[in-house]
Structure 1
């Protein structure tokens, strides 16, 4: 029997843009707009308009989450929903009503609400007007948004997240073209990385200056993809170190330690793409570190030294390494991702030994599967034994890390109810609870019944 620490968070995560639908929003975010102009790039042309209709069904959805035993739940407050006037911070009253309802429903069901402020959903108006995260003015507007969210909801929400997976904004929008506006510009990508670090620190500063840290905590959610080199050769290990610097430590180190790794600063300076900043901004980052960390983990990154020269015209991080497909690796064929649960143990020990053993939790982990309807049994629910096996294996390695002293306080699956997933839309399903997109009927899967027993025993 593997027992977890007392008070362990057993929960699940979603986000505003992936669950709420676009009902009654005063503004569009970048994905709302992208779907409007290019619906064909989204799987089966399914966009964010309705999703799982959390805007209308949050009471019933939260009660379903409670029915499978979960004691914590992360979602996000949409900037494009809450704020009517970005410059003044004037709020939309319907949004205030909605988010109050969500928070109160969580508390009524003894579920700890965790609220993120940004989940890839920059208001498109701020991109069109200022260049989005390329702009320091947008950083200041984000601080205004954060202050309004804290002012309205921090009396009940005691766990806040500034950004979810900020490196994905850098990758998707400015390097690898899987998020709107699909730019390839290494210099802009690096500046955006700095600006988002600054925006996160400014939100932490607002939280502390407002007195919300007296009984609340604020963190950041980073997706950590441990970079495993192909071999022990110096060349492969150097490739792994550089991949780790850019994709993991570029946000992890400033958030927890208040400083960028000297190695990445030196590398970017050498390549003449280092961000523009002031000493005052660096001091804000240094003084406003996070209270806790959320870690999203899905797959490892396996890298090797480049065997051919880099011929790109734009600066790209992969000029220093190449991806490596390890022979015999286990795969989730639906998503094209490697399954490697031991990485959660490696993350646990890394945070313990190199990041002051900061309190942290697994904020996302999960298995996306296509065509789950073929696993519906005679009783009408999906028998997703593959998901149970996936979760259990990851929890076993996580438990080992905790038993060796890593300060992990929870595990959240992505996601409670099958949700819309950007360009993939509903191609792959992740939830403990299935969604019939046409009828909006929601049904607990076998994994949902399984996790309820795990929560009741605080282990398995």
Structure 2
């Protein structure tokens, strides 16, 4: 993988067979929420009782209409240079009651999507859970329930058996820490519980569900690989002062290593266990849990990277009677002069992607991984419309390029990175933000029958993929 200006004027070349594509999810793109036997997820239910919690009161009923337009969309993927694409199978569509009968109309839909991708030279990557707990399972206490773990493992096995002859890359969960943070700590998402100990149980049970799904996959002897997709947000201390460094280490334990270590190394970080034990916050661990986690490491890792986390030593102790939060052990730190995406309020710091790559290389056995999400959400993109009708999103092209320069550097230094997936292929519905920020290579016009128009970035992405570099 040489760096050269020769041939094609490429400065950054990527390895042969590098994955270029994008990531999306079933609940954020399919729509057809009450069509062909699908039943409610927690998102449908939450929107039905509190629509005011969603930007412009836009709910998940139609999202981006992929259910009806997938053939057109897959052609557009081809036109934007995709050789791979990740989406998810919705549990509430495939097994609408959580357990029991499989919905044949859902089987037909996912078969058509998979076959259409393959027919167009696009490798399907399939994820099984993207924040979308079926409401009937949440009524049984969601990830706090062992019954729900068993139901999820049954769902996973059903998917492997139905689609595993063609899908070679499987992922158990996308960003499993997000339902913990959003649903059980910070009161951002349904079920709006604020209770660290319950959150810790949700996290542990999710990891057990993941490990049991990996175990089932291996027993089926399918010709593929299985992993998980984690959003890694490296923690940086304000300074090299020992108290700041310790604060960053603690933040890293909670937000990265809590999931990364058990799925790769088969055990929880000991210092995290100690912190929770001291405070009587350890979740209930049942017989066999630690063994199934230990014995079922992943084949490959998906890494979602958006922003770093910056912290400093705690300045004021937390109130004595306040329910525990990770932030009782460190304070957030806003770095002066940082670059920011004003639409999302997130810091843009491209070289962090390189730090993640080096960390995986040096501390996680250089496990095969790929950048499974990275992207830029922008509000009001219509103001960048070119007179010829497409969105002229040079900022997105620059964002991708600046991150890929650091991916390239990590590759040159031996990191085992297999590809890059942008979030996302087309503008999609983003949970409580709905369509506030747009992330796609392709514009979706919600006012005009979900009309698709490739943005400038989509044309550029095709050249990137064809040239395998830029």
What TM-score bracket applies, with the shorter chain setting the length?
over 0.9
Do structure 1's residue 240 and structure 2's residue 251 form an aligned pair? no
Q: Which residue of 1 aligns with 2:308?
A: 300
Do structure 1's residue 371 and structure 2's residue 380 form an aligned pair? yes
Do structure 1's residue 319 and structure 2's residue 328 form an aligned pair? yes
Q: Which moved more, 1:386-395 or 1:305-314?
A: 305-314
Aligned length: 456
**Aligned-pair distance for 1:313?**
2.3
**Aligned-pair distance for 1:125?**
1.1
Do structure 1's residue 111 and structure 2's residue 119 form an aligned pair? no
Q: Which residue of 2 aligns with 1:122?
A: 133
Checking the alignment, whether the CA contact within 8 Å between 2:235 and 2:251 is kept in structure 1 is yes
Residue among 192, 198, 201 paired with 2:211: 201
Do structure 1's residue 99 and structure 2's residue 107 form an aligned pair? no
Q: Take 1:267 and 1:25, find their aligned partners in 2: how far apart are those partners?
A: 46
Q: Which residue of 2 aligns with 1:142?
A: 152
Q: Take 1:275 and 1:136, find their aligned partners in 2: how far apart are those partners?
A: 13
Do structure 1's residue 414 and structure 2's residue 423 form an aligned pair? yes
**1:211-247 alpha-carbon deviations (Å, 9 max, x no partner):** 12xx200000000000001010111111100100010
1:64-83 aligned within 5 A: 64-83=76-95
Q: Which residue of 2 aligns with 1:155?
A: 165
Task: Let me know the Cα RMSD of the aligned residues.
Answer: 0.8
Q: Take 1:174 and 1:225, find their aligned partners in 2: how far apart are those partners?
A: 19
Q: Take 1:170 and 1:227, find their aligned partners in 2: how far apart are those partners?
A: 19
Q: Take 2:138 and 2:204, find their aligned partners in 1: how far apart are those partners?
A: 17
1:6-25 aligned within 5 A: 6-21=16-31, 22=33, 23-25=35-37
**Aligned-pair distance for 1:438?**
1.6
Q: Which residue of 2 aligns with 1:48?
A: 60
**Aligned-pair distance for 1:315?**
1.6
Q: Take 1:168 and 1:87, find their aligned partners in 2: how far apart are those partners?
A: 24
Residue among 283, 286, 290 paired with 1:282: 290
**1:50-104 alpha-carbon deviations (Å, 9 max, x no partner):** 111000000100110111111000000001000034333x200110010001100
Q: Take 2:440 and 2:98, find their aligned partners in 1: how far apart are those partners?
A: 34
1:398-437 aligned within 5 A: 398-437=407-446
Q: Take 1:443 and 1:25, find their aligned partners in 2: how far apart are those partners?
A: 31
What TM-score, normalized by structure 2, do the two folds share? 0.96
Q: Which residue of 2 aligns with 1:59?
A: 71
Q: Which moved more, 1:310-319 or 1:199-208?
A: 310-319
Secondary structure at the aligned position of 1:84 is classed as coil
Q: Take 2:169 and 2:159, find their aligned partners in 1: how far apart are those partners?
A: 12
Q: Take 1:395 and 1:262, find their aligned partners in 2: how far apart are those partners?
A: 34
Q: Take 1:425 and 1:198, find their aligned partners in 2: how far apart are those partners?
A: 31
Q: Which residue of 1 aligns with 2:7?
A: none
Q: Take 2:16 and 2:142, find their aligned partners in 1: how far apart are those partners?
A: 42
**Aligned-pair distance for 1:174?**
0.2
Residue among 216, 224, 246 paired with 2:232: 224
